[in-house]
Amino acid sequence: MHGTPLNGEQMALHVGGYRISLDAKESEANLNFVSHAHSDHTGGVRKNSEILCSEITRDLLSTRVRYELKMVGTPGGVKLLNAGHMLGSKQLYVESDALGAVVYTGDYQMQMSPVAEGIEIKQADTLIIDSTYPFPNVVFEEKAEVITAMQHYIRSKMDIGSTLFGAYAMGKAQELIKICNDMGVTPIVDQPIARVSEVYSRHGVKLDYVERNLHEGIVYPDFSVPVWIVSMHRMDMVRANVAALGKRIFTGLATGFAMTQRFNTDVQFALSDHADFNQAVEYIEACRPRRIYTRGSGKDTFARNLKAAGYNAGQLGGHTEFAQLLAEEV
């Protein structure tokens, strides 16, 4: 038995000689599972740390770190399953004599992303599941409907100006580029987005875009392009400069949080790369776990709402049974 203190966010699974951390810095881990390249899941990525992730995630992380990443092969008894969230995103699947099969989802989505692999779901005894959208009353529309609405908006503004999207450089920006490409539009993007998009293209997701170094002053000779996609913090700068050239510019955001928040843009679309509550239930029905542990910022609410729906759920860190998960050799 290992006498590890129980801590919901700092946790690890034991398999073979490994202690595997899950998307977070965990002081005693000797192998760090990184489900995908979003920065809130990369606490285990440090110089000289050994990481378990997909090759695509490794390549995406390499656009941000200066040191060489030490990637290890998948240990016996462990599988990586597609999570559907962004290109290269994986779930961790571990088979154990003591606990049966354990799955950790990280961020995941049930709907098919235009720029990611579809999700894989395996049955498991224990499920550790992400809690990004814990409320049953937040219901996403079909992604295809949201995309059609976005393309309609872009088209409706093309004759009178440009549309400027702010986006996370990793994942969301590539989805927006693909949505534009599918309607015959080649957007302008900034350098961080282009760096990530190049990795996507290298791994088979072909994207057409024009890269602009937005540090190089203010002259955008091709300001008549219909769509700009830039990192969030550049939105105001691009809006001001394009407007200064006498061109109308409409600002937009595409995020699932558009369901619950109003942002300071002309338009917002609830384009999410996560599962909503109903999709989480759909996942659980396919996975058929005997026990569920919720993880992430909404974990308390999510566990409560899953319990109310009849599932054996507890939040990670608040459940004594989880001590076993930490303590036993899996």
Residue among 86 and 214 whose Cβ is closer to Zn ion = 86
CA distance 113 to 122: 20
**Closest-CB residue for Zn ion?**
38
* Among positions 38, 58, 90, 319, the unique one binding Zn ion when judged by CB under 5 A: 38
Residue among 38 and 295 whose Cβ is closer to Zn ion = 38
Stretch binding Zn ion (CB under 5 A), from 32-40, 236-244, 262-270, 276-284: 32-40
SS3 letters for 156-189?
HHCCCEEEEEEECCCCHHHHHHHHHHCCCCCCEE
CA distance 52 to 288: 26
Residue among 101 and 146 whose Cβ is closer to Zn ion = 146
We find the least distance from the C-beta atom of residue 61 to Zn ion, in angstroms, to be 13
Stretch binding Zn ion (CB under 5 A), from 93-101, 104-112, 217-225, 258-266: 104-112
- Sequence-separated (6 or more) residues with CB below 8 Å from residue 30: 17, 18, 19, 50
We find the least distance from the C-beta atom of residue 36 to Zn ion, in angstroms, to be 5
Residue 130 binds Zn ion, judged by CB under 5 A: no
Residue among 38 and 299 whose Cβ is closer to Zn ion = 38
Residue among 42 and 96 whose Cβ is closer to Zn ion = 42
We find the least distance from the C-beta atom of residue 162 to Zn ion, in angstroms, to be 28
We find the least distance from the C-beta atom of residue 107 to Zn ion, in angstroms, to be 4
The residue assigned the tokens 């979003």 is 38
Residue among 138 and 183 whose Cβ is closer to Zn ion = 138
Stretch binding Zn ion (CB under 5 A), from 33-41, 46-54, 205-213, 264-272: 33-41
State the binding string over 239-258 for Zn ion (x if CB under 5 A, else -).
--------------------
CA distance 99 to 47: 32
Strand 291-295 versus strand 313-315 pairing type: parallel
Contact 173, 197 (CB under 8 A): yes
Residue among 117 and 154 whose Cβ is closer to Zn ion = 117
We find the least distance from the C-beta atom of residue 144 to Zn ion, in angstroms, to be 21
CA distance 101 to 83: 17
Six-digit token pair at 65?
A: 């770190």
CA distance 37 to 181: 24
* Among positions 23, 26, 107, 130, the unique one binding Zn ion when judged by CB under 5 A: 107
Instruction: Report in angstroms the alpha-carbon separations of 44 from 32, 33, 181.
Output: 5, 7, 35
We find the least distance from the C-beta atom of residue 226 to Zn ion, in angstroms, to be 28
Window 145 to 184, contacts with Zn ion (CB under 5 A)? none
CA distance 300 to 114: 31
The footprint of Zn ion (CB under 5 A) covers: 38, 107
